[in-house]
Chain A
Amino acid sequence: MPRARSAPVALNLHLGLVYAFLYGPVAVLMVLSFNRAGMPTAWTGFSLDWYVRLANSPAIISSTVNTLIVAVCSTLIATALGTLLALGVEKRRTSSALDALLFAPMIIPDIVLAIALLSFFTLLELTLGLYSIILSHVVFNIAFVCAVVRTRLKQFDYSIVEASSDLGASDFTTFRRITLPVIFPGVLAGALLAFTLSVDEFIIAYFTSGAGSSSTTLPMRIYSMIRFGVTPEINAMATIVMLFSFVLVFLSQRANRVPSVHQ
């Protein structure tokens, strides 16, 4: 890659403004979460009170646990199924109709997917709960995992699969020792992305959680708290969730980084 020349001042300024636009509100929120008074009007000193209060709230703790259960389970299922799907689809001749169907869950508006899933579960007369949120999250996460793994597979040299077979390995051994390790960065990136998406997903969880607070997830909890105004606890909560998501996305990108060619 040719070395980029130092960008002109105007371009840098533009970049700065875009970032300010994107992250300004978030930065305000993060700062306020450390404000002693908790009011958005004045800075009254640094404090971790709101975080402490958060940790002492049973409602927050239980919804955090719920969110983690949903995220972990849906990620594991979606990663396994999405990876296998990617392997299968990449082996066939590409058909644009098939591709469109695979991408659809990523671009269908969440509200549509939410209503569809709710109707479907009702039709099957299922009692809703955490597991129906998990199933719903698996639906869109499969699409994301599959897309990420497929990018990795585009540069996969299938002759190593044949070489493994030629050297005496069964199909399963080849998958375990050759294919999976080679595409693993893609699988990991897909899993991290799925996890992130699941953690902060609100609409679908809201529709498919059913009645009762036992299956309330964190975004749903925040939504119900916000009805009485944005409290400083919510700022603290949002800060934690955001940092967490940011770290996961960062790790996901790092994992799937295509090794650059050094001369």
Chain B
Amino acid sequence: MMRQDSVIEVDGVTRRFGSLTAVDGVSLELGEGEFFALLGPSGCGKTTLLRLIAGFEIPDAGRILLDGNDITRLRPNRRPVNLMFQSYALFPHMTVRANIAYGLEMEKRPKDEIRSRVADILAMTELTALADRKPDKLSGGQRQRVALARALVKRPRVLLLDEPLGALDKKLREQMQLELKKLQHELGITFVVVTHDQDEALVMADRIALMKDGVIAQAGSPRELYENPASRFVAGFIGVTNFFEGRAADGGVIVDGHGLLQGTGATGIAAGERVALAVRPERIALSREAGLAGHNAVAGDIADLAYHGQDVNLLVRVDGVDRPVMVRLTAAEEEQGNFQPGQRVWCNWRPEHGRVLKD
């Protein structure tokens, strides 16, 4: 999705807890109607950043702007931003309907308007039949929808979601990923999702910021992060990557025992520095006799073979490389090649599919 005007601007925000810097000088712009994911391992500061935008934390430095207005010190109840809590935080003594109406009552909306808006959102989230139940009589998936409805009914400028699907089982999670995306598209509200699940971020988000140790390691579209990772951390976190350790050289990486393996993207890296060449498993082709022309090629033995239905993962033990190289073939390719454990093969990839990365 195209980014139009920015709704939220996070400008050099830092938040410390004692000696720990949870968020360290982060700057971000969130566009109108964008589906944005804050991704990272636990403790990377993504939830703190979300709570800063919601107003539950006040930054030690930096500013947060909403539609150009400084809201850095505005209290949470005065921000047109709503947060869907990881625990859902439903009010246990109120029915589903009362939970959802609460936010509109706080806005002092007329009774008729509250009634009709609550009815609309109940229908949209398929909760109408459960409207008079209390939260303890709902399943996990139903609670999740109530939490979502309660935040959405206020029509916030930005909806913040803290691990929204974390408590659901795998199947429901995959279904809800698509539903959330559809809902966001229909409503046109900016969504910011915090997640530690890279698949979830790739499926749902228009743009992802991958965080590590309180800073943004890389921000961009899912495709950019996957295809053009800026660092070894990004390449390793998003999807599966093979790393060939070596020293930087003109046009690639010199790997012990394999000579120069060509790769791209080596900006700001001095020759001789310790780096790695990252290659995605699906970019590698296998050949039996010799390396393919115009490709980087390394030889090894097939160690293992894992069948996943539509594709097959092969682990190839390459001389001088500690971890086996993963190669992903389609089931058809694998069948054609008739690969078996123990066979000697060549792993081939085009120079443009190898990326020289450090850290």
Contact = CB atoms under 8 A, between A and B. Distances in A.
Contact of A173 (B106, B136, B151): B106
Contact of B87 (A159, A167, A168, A259): A159
A167 B85 contact: no
Interface string A130-174: 000000000000000000000000000101101111111110010
Contact of B93 (A159, A162, A182): A182
Contacts of A159: 85, 87, 89
Interface residues of A, number: 18
A157 B55 CA distance: 19
B170 to A, nearest CB: 23
A32 to B, nearest CB: 47
B91 A168 contact: no
B77 A160 contact: no
A166 B77 contact: yes
A181 B134 CA distance: 14
B82 A160 contact: no
A178 B91 contact: yes
**B interface, how many residues as a size bin?**
20 to 34
Contacts of B77: 165-170
Interface in A236-263: 259
B90 interface: yes
Contact of B92 (A168, A169, A173, A182): A182
Contacts of B291: none
B193 to A, nearest CB: 16
B357 interface: no
A166 B82 contact: yes
A166 B93 contact: no
List of 6 A-B pairs having minimum Cβ-Cβ separation, nearest first: A168-B106, A167-B103, A163-B89, A159-B89, A165-B76, A165-B77
Interface of A: 157, 159-160, 162-170, 173, 177-178, 181-182, 259
Given A162-B56, A165-B75, A167-B150, 17 more contacts: A157-B87, A159-B85, A160-B90, A162-B89, A163-B150, A164-B91, A165-B76, A165-B77, A166-B56, A166-B76, A166-B83, A167-B77, A167-B151, A168-B103, A168-B106, A173-B106, A181-B93
